[in-house]
Amino acid sequence: MQPRLQTIPSCESVHLLGREKHQKGVLSPVGTDDESEDGDTGDTDATGGRHRRRPSSSGSWHRQLSPCSVLSVASSGRLYAEPAQTLIFLDWDDTIFPCTELFTKRGYSRRTRDWTEPLEADLAEDLADWQEAAGEFLRAACGISDRCVILTNSKRPWVTTCINHFAPNLKPLIEQKPNLSIVYASDLMKRQKTTSDWASEKAEGLFVQSLHNFFGFFGQCAQGAQGFVTKMSESMTAMRQNAPGPPFNCTESKFKAMSVEADNFYSQYQNQTWKNIISLGDMAYEYDAVKALSATRVAPQSRERLRTKSVVLLPTPSLHGLTLQLRIWSQVLPAIARFDGDIDIDISNNFAPFQELARALQLPMLAKLQVPLTYLQPLAHWPNDHNKDFTDEITANELLDQLPILLHEAILCPPKETFHKIG
């Protein structure tokens, strides 16, 4: 069973209870679209008329939810935040993995073929806290989504190689979570390019064959022309092979990969609608891609309502900054998933990230939280570990203690005050 955030009201407990009582598997899946948005549950008889469906102990379990639950409406649209309806995309480099810290600041080789020796003891010790935070973050993401995708533009097998060398503690998590997968967007672009090349080769072959047939019609007098055709064919092949390929579009690759994943995820049953897509990354590529995914979506049913939540995180974070960021988002992700609307957050150049979160989630009390500026500074301005202010570490720990309390209070007791900018 996936871990759940116990403080957030959910119908998951009702789902599990119903599954225990009805072992025959006759319960409808959580979030199925067998009901209209207005809650109409009538059946159509042979004459075309409608009649009320009789209550059933196996099919009406979701109508008996507690009135305190935020998902207590008998409608699939209200189940948008369930794991079966939530799709999450996560970037890898500098979103989960400390790419800039390792390869820019510490000068570690980027070439995987050089990663033959075990990590030095000092580096392994420095990465221990980050590994723990990354594990917490991935488990939190898997707890709120049945499909959590680490989506990268890097070439295969970059992510798994990084995990094996720098974060072996994450390897069991990656292997044991069936709802956590790694997708290389470049693979999709490569397959499409191969298809294009195949079409070009086929057209070239037909052209050369037509020349052979033409000159062959004139018999032996055209033997010299046949040699010309052969040389021409060889030249065309060389030109095609040496021609520069189109520039790799990082946004386009992620958009196409997201489209494929969304189509597959939201086809678990007939007429399933797209409901809840979350994207986190440190660059504009995934931000623009998920926006394009939402803008180009043509819903087959008018009742579909897609909620897209896109977040741009800190660019080039330090190791300590990334570790704190992962721990913060481990706690914030469930609130992001439960928010009934679109979210657009860019904290890449913001030294008050919780103000942006408070505004996006409509939770004013979050704006009171302050992240130590040391953790928000780009890597180039980060002090050496020996000079790091110890009080900043204490402040960061206090922040992590206060955040779940505020989220708990905000969800169970929604604030009445209106958000206003602090400071």
**Three-state secondary structure call for residue 280:** strand
Phi then psi for 97, rounded to 5 degrees? -95, 135
The answer to which of 195-209, 321-335, 343-357 has the lowest mean pLDDT is 195-209
Res 62 pLDDT > 70: no
Res 69 pLDDT > 90: no
- Residue 74: which of 28, 25, 41, 29 has the closest Cα? 41
Res 146 pLDDT > 90: yes
pTM of the model: 0.70
Tokens of 23: 């072992």
Instruction: Look at 10 and 372; give whichever has higher pLDDT.
Output: 372
Res 130 pLDDT > 90: yes
Instruction: Look at 345 and 34; give whichever has higher pLDDT.
Output: 345
**Three-state secondary structure call for residue 324:** helix
Mean pLDDT of 43-47: 44
Predicted local confidence at residue 301, as pLDDT: 79
How confident is the model over 242-280, as pLDDT tens digits? 554 545 688 899 999 999 999 999 999 888 999 999 999
pLDDT above 90: percentage of residues in the chain = 41
Number of H helices, E strands in the chain: 13, 8
Predicted local confidence at residue 392, as pLDDT: 79
Give the confidence band of 365 by pLDDT, cuts at 50, 70, 90.
confident
Give the confidence band of 64 by pLDDT, cuts at 50, 70, 90.
very low
pLDDT above 70: percentage of residues in the chain = 62
Mean pLDDT of 164-190: 90
Question: How much is the mean pLDDT over the chain?
Answer: 75
Predicted local confidence at residue 222, as pLDDT: 53
Predicted local confidence at residue 41, as pLDDT: 40
Predicted local confidence at residue 73, as pLDDT: 33
Largest CA distance in the chain: 94
Cα separation of 400 and 382, whole Å?
21
Give the confidence band of 299 by pLDDT, cuts at 50, 70, 90.
confident
Dihedral of the alpha carbons of 215, 218, 222, 223, in degrees to the nearest 10: 90
Predicted local confidence at residue 386, as pLDDT: 44
- Residue 98: which of 283, 320, 346, 312 has the closest Cα? 320
Cα separation of 294 and 274, whole Å?
10
Res 1 pLDDT > 90: no
11-26 burial, b if ≥16 CB within 10 A, otherwise e?
bbebbeebeeeeeeee
Predicted local confidence at residue 26, as pLDDT: 36
- Residue 157: which of 188, 183, 137 has the closest Cα? 183
Give the confidence band of 224 by pLDDT, cuts at 50, 70, 90.
low
Res 402 pLDDT > 80: yes
CA distances from 238 to 98, 195, 231, 328 (A): 42, 18, 11, 54
Res 291 pLDDT > 90: yes
Cα separation of 95 and 91, whole Å?
6
Give the count of alpha carbons within 13 A of 350, CB side only. Answer: 16
Cα separation of 64 and 74, whole Å?
9
Predicted local confidence at residue 201, as pLDDT: 57
The answer to which of 8-12, 225-229, 335-339 has the lowest mean pLDDT is 8-12
- Residue 348: which of 317, 313, 320, 309 has the closest Cα? 313
User: Is 189 within 8 Å of 253 (Cβ atoms)?
Assistant: yes
Selection from 3-12, 134-143, 248-257, 292-301 with the highest mean pLDDT: 134-143
How confident is the model over 201-222, as pLDDT tens digits? 556 565 656 656 655 555 555 5
Give the confidence band of 300 by pLDDT, cuts at 50, 70, 90.
confident
Give the confidence band of 351 by pLDDT, cuts at 50, 70, 90.
confident
Give the confidence band of 28 by pLDDT, cuts at 50, 70, 90.
very low
Question: Residues 364, 367, 368, CA angle at the centre, nearest 5°?
Answer: 110
Predicted local confidence at residue 217, as pLDDT: 53
